[in-house]
Amino acid sequence: MTSDRQDTPFAQFTGAHLTSEIQQVVFRVLAGPQDRVWTATDVARDAHVSDHEADLVLRRFKAAGILERVDEPGSPRRYRWRPQMAYLHDGSEPPPGRHDPVCGMPVPTDSPHLAEYDGREIGFCSLSCLVLWRRQHRGRQRPNPVIVRRPRNRQ
């Protein structure tokens, strides 16, 4: 485990996405082989939480691009690590490209979660990081940052 490292991409991720005890417990359960596929029931059993609690955390991790869905027809929702997240496991740097300034994760090029500050577009992994960033910046910098609204299916 790498949870005691400070000021690293891992610590930045932890500070943004593992803010509740249940998120931390689920993350520890998931932090095994990166190619393993999980259902909420698997996670609930190993993390000693309810299926509902596990499901909520998995959905949230999916929404942030931490996990991806690998369902098969007729199966329950199945998740695995997004390959771009390997840096959390091997202690390397996140892959090159645009990074979320809050959590440090690589931001998908089609992310709908954008803000503009000082003429620069900033991308976020998820709405939760965007909201956190805006809260941190609002009122302290002029001009206030602007949330860019872009439909998910347009460039």
Interface residue list for Zn ion (CB under 5 A):
100, 102-103, 125, 129
Q: What's the rounded Cα separation, in Å, for the pair 125 and 106?
A: 7
Rounded to the nearest whole angstrom, what is the least distance from the CB of residue 63 to Zn ion in the complex?
10
Q: How far is the CB of 111 from Zn ion (least distance, A)?
A: 10
Closer CB to Zn ion, residue 30 or residue 103?
A: 103
40 to each of 2, 37, 47, 89, how far by Cα in Å? 24, 10, 10, 21
Give which of 152, 135, 153 is closest to 144, Cα–Cα.
Answer: 135
Contact 125/64 with Cβ under 8 angstroms? yes
Nearer to Zn ion, 25 or 129 (CB): 129
CB of 103 to Zn ion, least distance (A): 3
Closer by beta carbon to Zn ion, 43 or else 130: 130
